A and B are shown apart, each in its own frame.
Chain A
């Protein structure tokens, strides 16, 4: 008998004496939505508020983005090929393929977000929509281009749309740690700055 079969058998035997198995509870996913985080405006307004609360930065046009990037001293970036036209004129030298041997040369990674969750202030990144996981992860600044129509209000809605992409990420603000004396430090292994560029 393989280990798998042996464990299945042990589990079966362990449960054999259970006279009444606990039923799956009837519940409404809406009960697990935080009201204070999902009320008081349109989906976009709520997203803006909650994204800012997790230290995300929202920009609405190239000029705004240019100013934010300049503030972080961004010079070199790596972007998805589909974004090259849109990202011209920002004062950034772009590459469209991420060279991991020169990982630390990139100040910025720009990707296309598959969506966002207003309730939690999270961006949704998928494997099929972004060509390189590292480009959205290794540089200090990450810009996600996000279509307004792709923002969902609640976490249950986002979970219902997970689909079959092999790797989906909900990224919520900068990478962070509080391991040293509980003091919050941003930018541990991932970006220290998360920017969402809202487009129609």
Chain B
């Protein structure tokens, strides 16, 4: 990989530290998944774009009427026998979940992969309170034993190879070093069984919540989610308030698009539909179902011009197709949600901490691949990214050039008319300076293949002034 040392944005700086191994894993996995998505959609449907538009419209409709659908979902869930809770932010969600666990003496948890639990950093919070929460998805489990962060919302360890995984397993006492993927998987299977059986509670997210029927829908491939809902007696689902869809029939729209867009499969191995505690006569499964709806900034986003970002169904297609993500990989985004979706969502979810992530929307070439071609719910990602750049400029102008020396200097110059005029006249000196002889490497590299045009700084200003006076 050709790594150009650069001053750049924080994301660019991160790229410079990405190893060739990581770069190749991420780049090839992303390309494969993007191709698969496109291939499957084109194979199975005559006009995939129309289907994506319908999906986008259903999501937008739901968001525009969330004041109707959210209470409807609550009523349906309660009618089915689930207990519903609300949390305004991550802190409240952690406390609500902890309290449910504490009241029932639950000390061991099995978790099925959920980005929203990552968003509120649930595992650390529970661990500090003496509650063991084990990630049961193979990828998330490896992230957990490594003390790492997921680098992709669907394939959390896309940045790791089998050797690193084998070393982690060995370190964690899961047998002697063996980097055969099948052996790794079998060892995880064996290890996890005792964890499921010993667990007091299963914690999951939900891919969809159907307002009309109060159905939680979970899609997984490994069967870990079903195990987490089979062995323990308590189920807690943490769900963002934007996860609602109106009716059961809409699930055909979203399941078809989600699975093909996420993993390039027609359908996931496990698709679960849950309305509440287990049936009478059923021996395994939870006797209590709790649903915790999380706001954490979502209702604020709903009120803004960024509402469409809440359509997201977390498929990861925008990551896979993004040239910047392919180059940088997920950790470069310094937040739970990487890639184009993360570049929009993360700064917005950060609320008062917006400035810290205000550079993310700039890590984008505005090629438009994410929203135009990839997104199954047609989120206008490029448009939102541009608007966010504007927001960053207006609200945090002093910070927006931070960490970018050449552009920082330019910004300084452009913001001061006196300096600017001075620079324009001084620039004429360049015409008398033999640039071919410039000994400074970056300059000489540039001039070796190019001729610098004559510097004519200030002429536009003079022309404009003249035109204005006439």
Contacts and interface: CB of A to CB of B under 8 A. Distances in A.
Interface of A: 2-4, 6-8, 10-15, 17-18, 21-25, 27, 29, 31-37, 54, 97-98, 100, 103-104, 120-122, 127-128, 130-134, 137-138, 155-156, 159-160, 162, 164-183, 185, 187-191
B391 interface: no
28 contacts: A3-B88, A8-B71, A11-B299, A14-B302, A31-B51, A32-B51, A36-B44, A100-B231, A127-B285, A132-B282, A132-B284, A133-B285, A134-B230, A162-B215, A162-B248, A166-B274, A166-B277, A167-B272, A167-B274, A170-B272, A175-B223, A176-B269, A178-B155, A179-B137, A180-B157, A180-B165, A188-B189, A189-B223
Nearest to A189: B223
Given A25-B61, A32-B252, A164 B275 contact: yes
Nearest to B137: A179
A160 B152 CA distance: 33
Interface stretch (B52-60, B333-341, B356-364): B52-60
Interface stretch (B260-268, B398-406, B462-470): B260-268
Interface in B136-160: 136-139, 142, 155-158
Contacts of B74: 4
B9 interface: no
B19 to A, nearest CB: 15
A34 B302 contact: no
B88 A25 contact: no
A185 B181 contact: yes
Nearest to B235: A167
Contact of A15 (B67, B92, B189): B67
B197 A100 contact: yes
Contacts of A15: 64-67, 302-303
B185 A188 contact: yes
A167 B196 CA distance: 19
Given A24-B58, A175-B222, A181-B161, A133 B230 contact: yes
Interface in B218-254: 221-224, 226-227, 229-231, 241, 246, 248-249, 251-253
Nearest to B46: A35
Nearest to A38: B44
Given A2-B86, A100-B197, A188-B138, A34 B45 contact: yes
Interface string B190-206: 00110011000000000
B453 to A, nearest CB: 49
A168 B278 contact: no
A172 B278 contact: no
Interface string B303-343: 10000000000000000000000000000000000000000
Contact of B267 (A4, A21, A23, A120): A120
B86 A7 contact: yes
B282 A131 contact: yes
B429 interface: no
Interface residues on B, range: 35 or more
Contact of A168 (B136, B181, B273): B273
Contact of A133 (B70, B282, B300): B282
A185 B221 CA distance: 11
Contact of A182 (B29, B84, B271): B29
B25 A127 contact: no
B61 A24 contact: yes
A146 to B, nearest CB: 17
Contact of A29 (B57, B92, B249, B278): B249
B43 interface: yes
B256 A32 contact: yes
Q: Name the 7 nearest CB pairs between A and B, nearest first.
A: A190-B223, A14-B303, A175-B223, A34-B44, A179-B139, A133-B230, A188-B222
Nearest to B241: A7
B60 A22 contact: yes
A165 B248 CA distance: 14
A175 B269 contact: yes
Contacts of B275: 164-167
B279 A167 contact: yes
A47 to B, nearest CB: 13
Contacts of A179: 137-139, 142, 155-157
Nearest to A17: B303
A17 to B, nearest CB: 8
Nearest to B65: A21
Contact of A176 (B67, B222, B283): B222
